[in-house]
């Protein structure tokens, strides 16, 4: 199947310039294509996966993806439709973010048939006069003002700095067309104006028949109408230090039945037959959540590796059964990151005194009652003895004490020396 046909089947195409010509080109040759990301932070989040999944599919089909890290554009900001200017970062912070993002993208794409470039390498070489003479003369201000990404900001105001972003991104496309054999730029639906401005620049300099194309991705909304990737807890990061692999796995596992097939098409590399089979199971046995489990496993494996999937599944099984003894300290840290926590010393103490000191219990009377009634488990063991001495270093490498009060309420104590 042609890559464009596959992308359309997966619901991944919003707009294209001359789709028939792009389809024909990808049939005839392995093309170069790119997507840009500005180093505004030191980690990608799942929103970035949307265009990067497109690049990955092209890569698997034999095409040549390039990722542009916007060391140049990221230092000035992008008028992305928000009602405020992007906060400028120090170049030291920009360089730190560039290194972190490059490492993450190499994990997703490997090193074969894939390149990361930085637009600072060519944008920083322009003098102001050369920039205005060579490129500024080729952009009509009226046309730039009509681009949605700029027009949406005119009412609240936009600086000249961010206004020029469109020209800089166009120069990126021209540079990659000339030096990296790139014919296609991919981006979100809000980037259509910037991408087509780049095509216009290529046609003005290289000729109207130069094969340069745009492809944008639909805005991804959940069945309830809210934007995909937004959660009450904030962004879902690809950095395991910001969002643990278990939390990442759980995010995908908890997707709505109405959304899961769409996400299987977009975020996995499963075949049409495999996805059709899972879609049928959503209809006939939704309580088994097989589609969600497969989605969680596939995306987690792509981002964090197969071992992270095994670990996440192990944590999930232990939490479902209540048998936490088999978990490692690292799995305890991931699985109980969101429960109430406190810091304790490593000194052994009577269970009643310890429960009150950690504020897990409000009083000694309540603590004694809960222990006697079997409502307290420590590290997976039910405690009924009021004279029990709790040793904080007895389990989980001496790093944690996990307490469950009642059936579901957990507390995690971090042990210090």
Binding residues: 34, 165, 169, 230
312 CB contacts (<8 Å, ≥6 apart)? 245, 246, 248, 249, 250, 296, 300, 334
Which is nearest to 395 in space by CA: 408, 409, 413? 413
- Helix 290-304 / helix 306-321 crossing angle, nearest 10 deg: 140
Going by the annotation, the residues of the binding site for ATP are 230
Residues 82, 106, 179, 359: which is the catalytic one? 82
Residues 226, 231, 372, 416: which is the catalytic one? 231
Radius of gyration for the chain, computed over Cα atoms and rounded to the nearest angstrom: 26
Residues 230, 283, 382, 414: which is the catalytic one? 230
Residues 227, 283, 288, 325: which is the catalytic one? 227
* Strand ranges inside 93-228, DSSP E: 115-118, 182-188, 213-217
Contact 304, 377 (CB under 8 A): no
Helix, strand counts (H, E) of the chain? 19, 13
Contact 245, 53 (CB under 8 A): no
Q: 392 exposed, middle or buried (CB, 10 Å; 0-12, 13-18, 19+)? A: buried
Residues in the chain: 417
Residues 16, 26, 38, 48: which is the catalytic one? 48
Residues 57, 86, 153, 304: which is the catalytic one? 86
190 in active site:
yes
86 in active site:
yes
| End-to-end Cα separation, the chain, in angstroms | 61
Contact 174, 168 (CB under 8 A): no
Q: 80 exposed, middle or buried (CB, 10 Å; 0-12, 13-18, 19+)? A: middle
82 in active site:
yes
- The single-letter DSSP state of residue 86 is P
- The single-letter DSSP state of residue 227 is B
Residues 8, 23, 45, 147: which is the catalytic one? 45
Task: Return the residue matching tokens 């009060």.
Answer: 405
Nearest-angstrom CA–CA distance, 11 and 9: 5
95 in active site:
no
417 in active site:
no
227 in active site:
yes
* Catalytic machinery residues: 40, 45, 48, 82, 86, 169, 190, 227, 230-231
């Amino acid at each position: 199947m042609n890559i464009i046909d596959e992308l359309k089947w997966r619901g991944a195409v919003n707009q294209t310039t001359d789709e028939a010509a792009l389809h024909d080109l990808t049939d005839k040759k392995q093309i170069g294509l790119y997507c840009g990301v500005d180093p505004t932070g030191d980690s990608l989040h799942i929103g970035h996966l949307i265009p990067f999944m497109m690049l990955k599919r092209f890569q698997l089909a034999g095409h040549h993806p390039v990722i542009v890290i916007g060391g140049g554009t990221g230092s000035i900001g992008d008028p992305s439709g928000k009602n405020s200017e992007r906060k400028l970062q120090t170049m030291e912070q920009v360089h730190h973010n560039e290194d972190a993002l490059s490492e993450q993208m190499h994990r997703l794409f490997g090193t074969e048939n894939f390149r990361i470039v930085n637009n600072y390498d060519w944008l920083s070489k322009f003098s102001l006069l050369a920039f205005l003479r060579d490129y500024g003369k080729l952009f009509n201000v009226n046309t730039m003002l009509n681009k949605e990404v700029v027009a949406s900001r005119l009412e609240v105001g936009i600086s000249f700095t961010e206004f020029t972003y469109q020209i800089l991104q166009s120069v990126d496309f021209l540079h990659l067309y000339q030096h990296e054999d790139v014919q296609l730029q991919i981006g979100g639906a809000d980037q259509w104006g910037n991408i087509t401005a780049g095509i216009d620049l290529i046609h003005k300099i290289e000729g109207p028949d130069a094969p340069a194309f745009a492809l944008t991705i639909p805005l991804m909304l959940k069945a309830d109408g809210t934007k995909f990737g937004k959660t009450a807890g904030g962004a879902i990061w690809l950095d395991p230090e910001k969002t643990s692999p278990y939390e990442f796995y759980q995010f995908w596992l908890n997707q709505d039945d109405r959304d899961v097939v769409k996400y299987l098409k977009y975020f996995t590399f499963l075949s049409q037959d495999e996805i059709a089979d899972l879609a049928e199971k959503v209809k006939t046995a939704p309580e088994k959540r097989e589609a969600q489990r497969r989605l969680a496993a596939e995306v987690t494996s792509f981002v964090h590796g197969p071992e992270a999937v095994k670990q996440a599944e192990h944590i999930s099984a232990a939490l479902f059964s209540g048998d936490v003894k088999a978990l490692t300290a690292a799995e305890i840290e991931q699985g109980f990151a969101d429960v109430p926590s406190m810091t304790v010393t490593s000194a052994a103490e009577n269970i009643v005194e310890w429960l009150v000191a950690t504020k897990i219990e409000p009083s000694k009377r309540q603590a004694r009652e809960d222990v006697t009634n079997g409502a307290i488990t420590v590290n997976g063991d039910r405690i009924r003895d009021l004279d029990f001495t709790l040793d904080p270093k007895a389990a989980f490498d001496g790093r944690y004490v996990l307490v469950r009060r009642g059936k579901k309420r957990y507390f995690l104590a971090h042990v210090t020396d």
